Chains A and B, each alone.
Chain A
Amino acid sequence: MAETATRSLPLSGIHGGSATVRLEPAAPATRIALRVAMEDVGTLSGALGVDLPVRPKTSAFANGRTALWLGPDEWLVIDEGESGLMTAAANSGATHSAADVSHRNTAILVSGPGAADAINAGCSQDLSLEAFPVGACSRTLFGKAEIVLLRTAEDAFRVEVWRSFSDYAFGLLAEGARDAAL
Chain B
Amino acid sequence: MLLIHCPYCEEDRSELEFRWAGEAHIARPENIAAISDEEFAEFFFLRNNEKGLTYERWRHIHGCGRFFNAARDTVSDRFLLTYKAGLPKQPVPVAEKFAAIAEEKSVETWEQTEGDAR
Contact = CB atoms under 8 A, between A and B. Distances in A.
B72 to A, nearest CB: 20
B14 A124 contact: yes
Contact of A70 (B14, B16, B65): B65
Interface stretch (B3-11, B30-38, B87-95, B104-112): B3-11
Determine the interface band of chain B, counting residues with CB < 8 A from chain A: 10 to 19
Given A56-B8, A124-B1, A146 B16 contact: no
Interface extent on A, as a size class?
10 to 19
A23 to B, nearest CB: 22
Interface in B1-31: 1, 8-11, 13-14, 16-17
A139 B63 contact: yes
Main SS class of interface, A: strand
A74 B16 CA distance: 21
A138 interface: yes
Interface string A126-158: 000000000000111100001000000000000
Contact of B9 (A56, A74, A124, A141): A56
Nearest to A57: B9
Contacts of B9: 56-57, 138
Given A56-B9, A57-B9, A124-B1, A139 B64 contact: yes
B2 to A, nearest CB: 11
Contacts of A57: 9, 11
Contact of A140 (B10, B62, B66): B62
A71 interface: yes
Interface of A: 56-57, 70-72, 74, 124-125, 138-141, 146
